[in-house]
Amino acid sequence: MSVAQSGPLGLRGFQAWLLGYADYVMSERRAAFFDLDRTLVRVDTPRLYTRYRRKKGEASWRDSLQVAWWVLQYTAGMIDAPRVARKALADFAGKEESWLIKTCDEWFPQYVLPEIQARGRELVNSHKQSGDLVAIVTAATAYVAWPVARELGIDHVVCSELEVENGRFTGEPIEPLCYGEGKIIRAGALLDKFGIGFDKVTFFSDSITDLPLLSKVDVPVAVNPDRRLLRAARARGWQVQNW
């Protein structure tokens, strides 16, 4: 017996039911967002990258101190992100994008891979098995985030973007940076593509700089939080996890 003859709904009725069920499933789908530095990765990736460049003779102690100062400001939520981004990107102007892709692919196995959190890996797999939309949401660039995403089987990355013209960096970031309120804008664009609202999002982060997005989602999770985020999480009754 054909589908069209198998019940009172008939073929058209079955198709309508199937579409309705698909809409229902999509409307119930959740998303899980993971920050990168000090969340999925145990330490700050800018420091790891500077260590890699020092070993290759491409960075000085002064460069290391500058990065450490920027990381400290970022952690405190006191950084002028666009200004620092432009200063950091000045040396990239005119360089080929393929150079940075190759560099980060070389850097990742030795410096980043050993720092990926085991608990983060477990939770990524758990959310994937639940059918959640899983994404890395980070202020870092795609060149840093995608090697981690590929390692963890994550299909989506929401990140800061660098301007590229004719295959070469201009030295300018594309605003908004994926930082503070900019994370809400960029993460929202991904959610819109899949018809998921912020009321169905779990977000794991360590930093007070992510307070805007943590406050926007329905399940904020403070992971290895800095002192300011720990205070904010406790005051709001959020989950606090130590990986």
pLDDT tens, 108-144? Answer: 999 999 999 999 999 999 999 999 999 999 999 999 9
pLDDT at 18 over 50: no
pLDDT tens for residues 167-201? Answer: 999 998 999 999 999 999 999 999 999 999 999 99
Structure confidence at residue 101 (pLDDT): 95
pLDDT tens for residues 50-75? Answer: 888 777 776 554 554 445 445 555 55
Average pLDDT over residues 227-238: 97
* Helix 45-55 vs helix 61-76: crossing angle, to nearest 10: 180
pLDDT at 79 over 70: no
Structure confidence at residue 2 (pLDDT): 45
Structure confidence at residue 25 (pLDDT): 45
- Domains in the chain, CATH or no CATH each: 30-236 (3.40.50.1000)
Q: How confident is the model at residue 24 (pLDDT cuts 50, 70, 90)?
A: very low
Spatial separation of the C-alpha atoms in residues 82 and 173, rounded to whole Å: 8
Q: Residues 6 or more apart from 53 whose CB is under 8 A from it?
A: 59, 63
Q: What is the largest CA-CA distance in the chain?
A: 77
Structure confidence at residue 72 (pLDDT): 53
pLDDT at 5 over 70: no
Spatial separation of the C-alpha atoms in residues 133 and 128, rounded to whole Å: 7
Structure confidence at residue 85 (pLDDT): 62
By the 8 A CB rule, do 53 and 44 touch?
A: no
Structure confidence at residue 73 (pLDDT): 54
When mean pLDDT is compared across 17-21, 26-30, 48-52, 147-151, the lowest value belongs to 17-21
- For the chain, how far is it from start to end, CA to CA, in angstroms? 56
pLDDT tens for residues 85-102? Answer: 666 677 789 999 999 999
Structure confidence at residue 86 (pLDDT): 66
Average pLDDT over residues 80-87: 63
Q: How confident is the model at residue 48 (pLDDT cuts 50, 70, 90)?
A: very high
Please name the amino acid found at residue 189.
Answer: A
